[in-house]
């Protein structure tokens, strides 16, 4: 897990005077501890009012009405990222959601944007950048960075996207080996990794969940 906050580089001028109340949902307690250490309500105009390791424990807190912004880890204890954000949007429709993650993926950025998140922030960004993004989100702005398509952090490789599209067209794995000129075991491993990434058990569940989003992102 990467948690890195640099203290230099950005101005804090022109930030609004309202206090922004934050709640962190992350399976790693160190994340909340790091944010609590680096955010100072007196100077930053924001404070951490609570934290939880999953959505179930989030509901046990009595101060959720105070929360303005949820800071949500993309992957919370093997649960489904889609269900997590949908749960928060349905249960707390007036709250903002910032995805806070190590996943450098344009696919996930687009998926979370379409799912209703207000920002997608990497855990290795400067702490002042994070604070500025929090303030912008509080004012109703969005923040979704553009990650290079060549980064190794992308959720799906081009070959995985091609395979999923072919599966959706009803083409068998055996036929895909000939179309893409790759070995069967390579298809198996690529699909296995893709299933793990989105927490599904079968290829058809993978297709049902991911294909519409991939198709919009990669026509």
What is d(CA 184, CA 188) in angstroms, rounded to the nearest whole number? Answer: 6
Q: Could you tell me the pTM of the whole model?
A: 0.65
Q: What is the CA radius of gyration of the chain?
A: 19
User: In the structure encoding, which two tokens stand for residue 161, read together?
Assistant: 């996207």
Beta strands in 115-154 (DSSP E): 119-122
Domain map (residue ranges) of the chain: 20-138, 158-217
What is d(CA 181, CA 168) in angstroms, rounded to the nearest whole number? Answer: 18
Return the CATH architecture of domain 158-217.
Answer: Orthogonal Bundle (1.10)
Q: 20-138 has which fold?
A: Rossmann fold (3.40.50)
- Measured in degrees and rounded to the nearest 5, phi and psi for residue 100 equal -125, 110
| Residue 61, SS3 per DSSP | coil
What string of pLDDT tens digits covers the 219 residues of the chain? 444 443 443 334 444 457 999 999 999 999 999 999 999 888 889 999 999 999 999 999 988 999 999 999 988 876 788 889 999 999 999 999 999 998 887 778 888 998 899 999 999 888 888 998 999 999 999 999 876 543 333 456 667 777 887 887 788 888 888 877 777 877 888 888 888 877 788 888 887 777 666 555 444
């Amino acid at each position: 897990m990467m948690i890195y906050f640099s203290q230099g580089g950005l101005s804090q001028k022109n930030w609004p005077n309202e206090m922004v109340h934050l709640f962190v949902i992350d399976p790693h307690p160190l994340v909340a501890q790091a944010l609590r250490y680096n955010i100072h309500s007196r100077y930053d105009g924001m404070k951490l009012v609570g934290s939880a390791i999953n959505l179930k424990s989030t509901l046990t807190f009595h101060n959720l009405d105070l929360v303005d912004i949820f800071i949500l880890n993309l992957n919370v204890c093997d649960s489904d990222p889609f269900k997590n954000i949908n749960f928060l949007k349905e249960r707390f429709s007036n709250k903002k959601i910032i995805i806070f993650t190590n996943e450098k993926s344009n696919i996930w950025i687009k998926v979370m944007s379409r799912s209703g998140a207000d920002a997608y922030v990497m855990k290795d960004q400067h702490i002042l950048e994070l604070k500025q993004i929090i303030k912008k989100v509080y004012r109703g702005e969005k923040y979704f960075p553009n990650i290079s398509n060549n980064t190794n952090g992308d959720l799906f490789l081009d070959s995985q996207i091609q395979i999923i599209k072919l599966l959706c067209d009803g083409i068998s794995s055996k036929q895909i080996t000939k179309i893409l000129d790759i070995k069967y075991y390579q298809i198996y491993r690529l699909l296995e990794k893709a299933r793990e990434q989105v927490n599904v058990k079968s290829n058809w569940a993978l297709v049902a969940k991911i294909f519409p989003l991939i198709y919009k992102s990669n026509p």
